[in-house]
Structures are given as structure tokens and as C-alpha cells.
């Protein structure tokens, strides 16, 4: 025998492990699953993780390469996280190596030691004092002793020069036995402090009932905290975390987008004295690793982060919270297409801890889990404090002229709110000036040359942009088809709305908030500061405005176009539309000023809108869910979407046709029922960035059957000769069907 064979997970798109011989000179006891190793791969070195140790390989031993060296001496991940990653890889049909790569901080992927940067501190030893005879002739050392005596917990080495000390002097003190160096992580807190830095609000009846339920639980339990915007969900999170910290456990909080919610994050730091680590995109690789380690080693009491934070290991997990659980950003849309909300459920189960899913507009998946008794629903129906809910009304715009996307009555109403000293928020889901540029004489429309899509007209600077592939070009001066010069922008985007508002309300600031104006760092912060000052103004913006913010002085929210979502080709269109309207509406009247919401629509009698005007998301959801059940759509069935794209539509289609045949054969040979193959069909936007796209949907009545098929199918697809010429991916539980 040739010694143990290591099966190594490497960051490769292939769904398989790679066999290597163990590094020279190591005994079997030195090897463990979960250790990182560096291995030769092609003509370079790669870092992988030992996924299994075996005594045989399908590769002849003589051909097996030897792993170069072990990087870790103990497994990188706690057992539960290793299980989470393995489960994620198999559930989403992704390679384990690539899954681990998504889960780990960059520096660990590159083979850095899994240790925090140590802050080195200098500290006096007992018996050191300025008049000590050993330093009577060394003024620098004397001074150093004086300075250190004022820092009983140690003085950071990084700061010594700022205190006028030198390394030489400190090292001399060390040799004389008067000072020592100590190491500790940057997240270390030296003295035990009272847990709370501020007094919690006293919970109202509903909050108390929710907290009683949550804190009574032990082991795994999932709660759906359904609370209208402003009902005090965050306060419930804070007090549930307090309970968790009192048990010496850690809390993990997932939020949709960090840049947009600085105020909420501040509330966690203001409340608790424990270290709070926030995993945000502004961290450099080193800071990210330090935060990861502070979480893994139990130094961080609270870990807050977006989607990928679900993979942060915790030494003493106690509670997982997913805020705005319906938010689409929890689903990764490329590579490893996981849903962090769903992984949170699995993880809470694995770690046997409580899970709170919070939302004003729960996803249908979660509501379905309540119906099935898997989650317990906790409701907060009243706004906390004195705030009352906004009134929601539809404004029928049939046959009314629109300017900048707005009707006359709306403009009038806005004027009234502004003159009373209040703020107005205008929501429009398109950025740019106009979604289309059209020839008034022949009907030609500006289209993207690389996509099956229209170009959006932008005004400052004047250009045509494709929002799908990012290409840009100069605005046509005349129609390329009929040479007419009468080219007109059709419809309105944020720029055009802003322009028209500036004409209507020259005396009030108009603040536009979209991806174009917020591209600069800090732009959002300074905009928020202006809004928080409370002076009357109009905010015009996209989705960005809908999330998480508190705008206490906004009394009118206008939704310019609600019709798009009502007749979407995606069966989730109405769910998304309702969630969006309620989220946007929730920005209004949060303090003591009553709020009003106006929805412009051509379909004022639509049932969805009627439900929303009565604040009845639950009734809307129940009706929609019944429709989904009747049509056997998720959450009553399970889907996976095989997407493919290539430079030639023939090749894309051939790959999917053959994939479809393969699947049919497998369904027959595995003898499974209740699975349907829908397609292949061209994607709704067939050509994007010059590539031809198509898709094949697999739908099954049972999750286990779907996975059984996927497992065999993907193994076969990977071997397919076309699989290397077509770019393809599998999306399990797709949220976006296009």
C-alpha cells in the first residue's frame, strides 16, 4: 500500500473531489478531514480542503501526485459549519470545493493561517516603578515605565511612537524583567462590563408576547415575526439577543443590504457592550478574516452581515435572525446559487438554536411553512409608540395626461404636503430619463446591439444605456430607419420625474436617489443626513428608497406605476409587487405625523390593490397561495432551472435538447413519477450581451424526487461533450425565472 489517499475539495467548477497522496513524512494521525492542504494543480499550487481520507483511488497510485503541505493542524471549521457547507454543496448541486470557497474569507482561501491578527501590547510587570535602580541611568526606559504605568491593561505596540516610546527602550525593560509583551485579538475586551449600555424600551403587549415565546424556546425553533413596518421588530430582535447573550451565547443577524441601514446597525452597538462584528463590503481582506475569527472563537457576541454571513462559524451559537426574510438579496444569483434564508433554517436546525425570520411582508414560502406548522407565527400588528398606519389609496390615471410620470392631482397633493412643511417620497422603479427613445414618424425604437432589449435614455450625460449588459452609446440624432429628426423619449424614469418636479416645485429641493446618484461612496450618508434634517423636500427614487430607512418627516408616498407587477409573466410578480408597495408605503408617517400613500394605476379595481388599500397583506397572500396550490406552483411544488447560453443559438438549443432527452431517460430508468420537464424555451430576453440564452425547467411534486433526478442528471451532463462549449448552470429553487 502507498499510504493514505486524500480526497481534496478544490475550488473548481467540477462537482468532484481530487485524489492526492499525503504530503511526505506525515503519519495518518496528522491527517484529518477539514484541514487545508496546498497541492500542485496543473502548473500551479492550489489550496484545498481534505474532504475524505481513503486507502484507495480510481487513479493508479503511480499517477497520483503528492499534496505539498498541510496548512492547518486542526480543522478550519467547526463540525456544524462543515456539515452546512457539505449540505449546501449537495442541495444546490455545486462542487464542495467551490462551495467552501464561497463560504470562506479570501485570505483563508489563499492559505493564510486561520488566526486573528494579534495586537501586541506592552505591559509593566509587578515590581516595575520609575525609580527602579535598574533604570536609574536610562531616561528613555524611565519614561517608558511612567507611560506604561498609566495603561494597566497594556499599550498597543502600534501606538508606542505616538506616546514617544521606542521599541529599543521597551525591549530593554523586557530583558530587565520589568515589562512584558502580551498578545490579544483586536476584538478582545479587557474587563467584564455590564451587558447593556442603554436601557431597553419597555415592550408593548405584542412585543412582550413575541419575546415570551422566543425566550421560552430551547433547541431548534423557527418563528416568523410578522410585523407591520415600524411595529418594533428590531426592538424584539434586540431583546431576544439580550437573552441569548445572557446565556453566554452568540447571535447571528442577517440583513439584506448593509450600506443602506447604518442607523439600524448603530442600534446594536449602542445597546450592548459585547463586541459586535459587522461584515460589510468596506472591510479589507484582513479585517474580514479577523471578524470571522472573532466569531469562530467566540469573542464577538453579535455578528451582523449580508447573505454570505450565513457561513460565519460561531463558537457558541445561540440565535439566528433573518431580517426582511422575503428580500431577494438573500438569494445568490450566480455561481453557488444558495438562498441564505433557507440555509439559516437548516443551520438553526443543525446547531439546535432558535431562528427568527422577520418581515412586514413574509415570503409565500415562509407563510406556507406557517400553514404546515413548521414555523410559529408571531404578529406585531400595531405601530410602536404613537405612530399610526398610513392611509393607502389608488389614484385612477386612466385617460389622465402624465408629465414626468405624474398626474395633475398627484402634483397638487404633493404641493399641499410640501407647503405644510412635510417631505414627499416618489417611488419609480426605473432609473434614467426615459425607458425608450422612439421615432415619432416611423415607430423605430433604440435597441441594444447586444441584447434583445431597448436602450434607456439618460440625460446627464446624454447617452443611451442598456441596463442589461451595461453597453452605452451616443444618442441618435436622427432615426436610422427613416432619417426623421423627431425622436421622442417615451415614458419616465427617475431623471425625467426629477426634472418635472423641479419645474413644478422650484422652491423645494428635489433629491434623487438611484444607482446613478448613489454611485459615490458616502453619497447615501449625506443624502440621508439632508433628509433627516426634516426640511421639506421631495425624494425621488428607486427600490433603494424602499428598504429599511426611517423617514420620520415623510407624510406622502407616491407610487408612480403599480401596473407592471400586476401582469408580470413571472408567477411571483404579484407577490413582489405587493411586498414592494407595502415596503415603500411603510416609509410614510413613521413618527407622530400621519402618512398618506397614493398609488397611480390604470387598474384601481384590481383585487391586489384593493387588499393593500385595506392593509390586508394576509388576505392577499392567502388568495394568491390558494392560486399557487391549484396551479401546483411553488411553494406547493419544487423547481430547478437549467440555464444555458452560448454564442450560437443553435448550440444553446442543442445542448438543452440533449439535456432534456437525458432527463427523460433518467426519469424512465429511475422509475420516478411526478416530475415534469418544461421546455427548453428561449429565455424571455433571448440575446443578452451577445449571447443566446435558453432554459429548461424541471418541476416536481416532491423535493426528494427532484433531488434524486438532479443528482444523476448533473453527473451525466457534466460528461456531455457540449457541456464544455456552452455556459450552463443549475438553479435549485430559482426565484428569478428568467
Q: Which one of ligand ADP, Zn ion, none interacts with residue 481, CB within 5 to 8 A by kind?
A: Zn ion
Helix (H, G, I), strand (E, B) or coil at 499: helix
Q: Which one of Zn ion, ligand ADP, none interacts with residue 384, CB within 5 to 8 A by kind?
A: ligand ADP
Spell out the residues 6+ positions from residue 150 whose beta carbon is closer than 8 angstroms to its own: none
Q: Which one of ligand ADP, Zn ion, none interacts with residue 207, CB within 5 to 8 A by kind?
A: ligand ADP
482 is in an annotated binding site: yes
Q: Does 101 bind ligand ADP (CB under 6 A)?
A: no
Choice from 85, 89, 387, 451 touching Zn ion (CB under 5 A): 451
Q: Does 263 bind ligand ADP (CB under 6 A)?
A: no
Using alpha carbons, list the distances in angstroms from residue 577 to 2, 492, 570: 62, 19, 11
Could you give the CA distance from residue 59 to residue 57 in angstroms, rounded to a whole number? 5
Cis status of the peptide bond prior to 432, with omega within 30 of 0: no
Q: Which is nearer to Zn ion, 439 or 527 (CB)?
A: 439
Q: Does 481 bind Zn ion (CB under 5 A)?
A: yes
Q: Does 444 bind Zn ion (CB under 5 A)?
A: yes
Q: Which is nearer to Zn ion, 87 or 444 (CB)?
A: 444
The count of C-alpha atoms lying within 13 angstroms of the C-alpha of 365, restricted to the half-sphere facing its C-beta, is 17
Q: Which one of ligand ADP, Zn ion, none interacts with residue 229, CB within 5 to 8 A by kind?
A: ligand ADP
The count of C-alpha atoms lying within 13 angstroms of the C-alpha of 318, restricted to the half-sphere facing its C-beta, is 22
Choice from 13, 113, 139, 385 touching ligand ADP (CB under 6 A): 385
Helix (H, G, I), strand (E, B) or coil at 330: helix
Q: Which one of Zn ion, ligand ADP, none interacts with residue 203, CB within 5 to 8 A by kind?
A: ligand ADP
Q: What is the DSSP letter of 410?
A: H
Cβ atoms 13, 728 nearer than 8 A: no
Residue 449 Cβ, how far from Zn ion at the closest point, in Å?
A: 7
451 is in an annotated binding site: yes
Cross-strand pairs, 179: 124
The neighbour count for residue 531, using CB atoms within 10 Å, is: 22
Give the residue ranges of DSSP H helices in 505-646: 523-532, 563-566, 573-585, 607-613, 617-630
Q: Which is nearer to ligand ADP, 380 or 612 (CB)?
A: 380
Of residues 207 through 236, those in contact with ligand ADP by CB under 6 A are 207, 227, 229-235
Cβ atoms 223, 373 nearer than 8 A: no
Q: Does 632 bind Zn ion (CB under 5 A)?
A: no
Q: Which one of ligand ADP, Zn ion, none interacts with residue 444, CB within 5 to 8 A by kind?
A: Zn ion
Q: What is the DSSP letter of 130?
A: T
Strand order in the sheet with 250-254: 276-279, 302-305, 250-254, 317-322, 354-359, 221-227, 376-380
Q: Which one of ligand ADP, Zn ion, none interacts with residue 339, CB within 5 to 8 A by kind?
A: none
466 is in an annotated binding site: yes
660 is in an annotated binding site: no
Q: Does 382 bind ligand ADP (CB under 6 A)?
A: no
Of residues 460 through 479, those in contact with Zn ion by CB under 5 A are 466, 468-469, 479
Q: Which is nearer to ligand ADP, 32 or 204 (CB)?
A: 204
Q: Does 262 bind ligand ADP (CB under 6 A)?
A: no
Q: Which is nearer to Zn ion, 371 or 472 (CB)?
A: 472
Using alpha carbons, list the distances in angstroms from residue 35 to 7, 114, 527: 11, 11, 47
Could you give the CA distance from residue 295 to residue 288 in angstroms, rounded to a whole number? 11
Choice from 450, 615, 623, 711 touching Zn ion (CB under 5 A): 450
Cβ atoms 634, 367 nearer than 8 A: no
Cβ atoms 598, 558 nearer than 8 A: yes
Residue 445 Cβ, how far from Zn ion at the closest point, in Å?
A: 10
| Count of residues interacting with ligand ADP (CB under 6 A) | 15
Spell out the residues 6+ positions from residue 124 whose beta carbon is closer than 8 angstroms to its own: 145, 148, 149, 152, 178, 179
Q: Pattern 162-201, binding to ligand ADP, x per CB under 6 A?
A: ---------------------------------------x
Q: Which is nearer to Zn ion, 21 or 450 (CB)?
A: 450
Cross-strand pairs, 33: none
Residue 694 Cβ, how far from Zn ion at the closest point, in Å?
A: 18
- Residues near Zn ion (CB under 5 A) are 439, 441-442, 444, 448, 450-451, 466, 468-469, 479, 481-482, 484
Q: Which residues are annotated as a binding site for Zn(2+)?
A: 439, 442, 448, 451, 466, 469, 479, 482
Q: Residue ranges for the binding site?
A: 439, 442, 448, 451, 466, 469, 479, 482
Which residues form the interface with ligand ADP (CB under 6 A)?
A: 201-204, 207, 227, 229-235, 384-385
Amino acid at each position: 500500500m502507498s499510504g493514505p489517499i486524500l480526497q481534496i475539495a478544490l475550488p473548481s467548477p467540477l462537482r468532484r473531489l481530487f485524489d492526492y497522496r499525503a504530503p511526505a513524512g506525515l503519519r495518518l494521525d496528522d491527517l484529518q478531514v477539514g484541514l487545508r492542504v496546498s497541492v500542485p494543480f496543473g502548473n500551479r499550487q492550489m489550496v484545498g480542503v481534505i474532504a475524505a481520507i481513503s486507502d484507495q483511488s480510481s487513479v493508479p497510485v503511480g499517477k497520483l501526485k503528492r499534496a505539498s503541505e498541510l496548512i492547518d493542524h486542526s480543522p478550519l471549521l467547526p463540525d456544524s459549519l462543515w456539515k452546512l457547507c457539505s449540505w449546501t454543496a449537495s442541495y444546490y448541486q455545486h462542487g464542495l470545493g467551490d462551495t467552501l470557497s464561497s463560504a470562506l474569507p479570501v485570505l483563508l482561501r489563499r492559505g493564510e493561517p486561520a488566526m486573528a491578527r494579534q495586537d501586541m501590547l506592552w505591559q509593566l510587570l509587578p515590581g516595575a516603578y520609575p525609580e527602579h535602580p535598574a533604570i536609574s541611568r536610562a531616561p528613555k526606559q524611565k519614561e517608558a515605565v511612567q507611560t506604561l504605568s498609566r495603561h494597566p491593561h497594556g499599550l498597543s505596540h502600534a501606538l508606542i511612537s505616538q506616546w514617544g516610546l521606542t521599541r529599543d527602550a521597551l525591549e530593554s525593560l523586557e530583558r530587565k524583567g520589568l515589562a512584558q509583551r502580551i498578545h490579544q485579538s483586536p476584538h478582545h475586551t479587557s474587563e467584564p462590563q455590564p451587558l447593556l449600555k442603554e436601557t431597553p424600551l419597555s415592550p408593548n403587549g405584542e412585543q412582550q408576547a413575541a419575546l415570551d415565546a422566543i425566550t421560552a424556546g430551547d433547541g431548534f425553533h423557527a418563528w416568523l415575526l410578522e410585523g407591520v413596518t415600524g411595529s418594533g421588530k428590531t426592538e424584539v430582535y434586540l431583546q431576544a439577543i439580550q437573552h441569548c447573550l445572557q446565556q453566554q451565547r452568540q447571535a447571528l443577524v442577517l440583513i439584506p443590504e448593509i450600506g443602506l441601514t447604518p442607523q439600524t446597525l448603530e442600534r446594536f452597538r449602542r445597546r450592548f457592550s459585547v463586541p459586535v462584528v459587522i461584515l460589510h463590503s468596506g472591510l479589507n481582506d484582513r479585517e474580514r478574516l479577523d471578524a470571522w475569527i472573532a466569531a469562530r472563537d467566540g469573542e464577538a457576541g453579535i455578528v451582523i452581515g449580508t447573505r454570505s454571513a450565513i457561513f460565519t462559524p460561531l463558537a457558541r451559537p445561540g440565535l439566528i435572525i433573518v431580517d426582511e426574510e422575503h428580500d431577494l438579496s438573500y438569494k445568490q444569483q450566480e455561481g453557488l446559487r444558495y438562498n441564505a434564508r433557507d440555509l439559516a433554517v437548516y443551520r438553526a436546525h443543525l446547531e439546535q438554536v432558535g431562528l427568527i425570520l422577520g418581515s412586514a411582508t413574509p415570503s409565500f414560502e415562509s407563510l406556507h411553512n406557517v400553514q404546515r406548522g413548521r414555523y410559529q407565527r408571531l404578529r406585531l400588528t400595531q405601530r410602536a409608540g404613537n405612530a399610526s398606519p398610513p392611509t393607502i389609496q389608488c389614484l385612477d390615471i386612466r385617460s389622465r395626461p402624465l408629465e414626468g410620470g405624474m398626474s395633475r392631482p398627484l402634483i397638487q397633493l404633493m404641493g399641499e404636503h410640501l407647503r405644510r412643511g412635510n417631505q414627499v417620497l416618489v417611488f419609480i422603479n426605473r432609473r434614467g430619463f426615459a425607458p425608450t427613445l422612439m421615432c415619432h414618424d416611423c415607430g423605430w425604437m433604440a435597441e441594444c446591439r447586444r441584447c434583445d432589449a431597448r436602450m434607456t435614455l439618460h440625460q446627464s450625460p446624454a447617452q443611451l444605456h442598456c441596463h442589461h449588459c451595461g453597453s452605452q452609446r451616443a444618442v441618435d440624432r436622427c432615426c436610422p430607419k427613416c432619417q426623421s429628426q423627431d425622436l421622442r423619449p417615451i415614458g419616465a424614469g427617475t431623471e425625467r420625474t426629477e426634472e418635472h418636479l423641479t419645474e413644478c416645485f422650484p422652491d423645494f429641493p428635489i433629491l434623487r436617489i438611484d444607482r446613478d446618484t448613489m454611485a459615490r461612496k458616502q453619497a447615501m450618508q449625506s443624502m440621508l443626513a439632508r433628509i433627516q434634517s426634516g426640511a421639506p423636500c421631495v425624494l425621488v427614487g428607486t427600490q433603494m428608497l424602499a428598504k429599511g430607512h426611517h423617514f420620520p418627516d415623510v407624510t406622502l408616498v407616491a407610487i408612480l406605476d403599480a401596473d407592471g407587477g400586476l401582469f408580470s409573466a413571472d408567477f411571483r410578480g404579484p407577490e413582489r409587487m405587493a411586498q414592494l408597495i407595502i415596503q415603500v408605503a411603510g416609509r410614510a408617517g413613521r413618527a407622530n405625523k400621519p402618512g398618506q400613500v397614493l398609488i397611480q394605476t390604470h387598474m384601481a379595481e384590481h383585487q391586489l390593490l384593493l387588499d393593500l388599500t385595506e392593509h390586508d397583506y394576509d388576505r392577499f397572500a392567502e388568495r394568491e397561495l390558494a392560486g399557487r396550490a391549484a396551479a401546483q406552483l411553488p411553494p406547493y411544488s419544487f423547481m430547478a432551472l437549467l440555464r444555458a447560453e452560448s454564442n450560437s443559438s443553435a448550440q444553446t438549443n442543442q445542448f438543452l435538447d440533449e439535456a432534456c432527452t437525458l432527463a427523460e431517460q433518467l426519469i424512465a430508468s429511475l422509475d420516478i413519477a411526478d416530475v415534469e420537464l418544461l421546455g427548453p424555451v428561449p429565455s424571455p430576453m433571448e440575446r443578452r450581451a451577445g449571447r443566446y440564452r435558453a432554459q429548461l425547467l424541471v418541476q416536481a411534486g416532491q423535493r426528494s424526487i427532484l433531488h434524486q433526478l438532479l443528482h444523476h442528471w448533473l453527473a451525466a451532463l457534466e460528461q456531455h461533450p457540449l457541456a464544455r462549449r456552452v455556459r450552463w448552470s443549475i438553479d435549485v429553487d430559482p426565484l428569478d425565472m428568467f
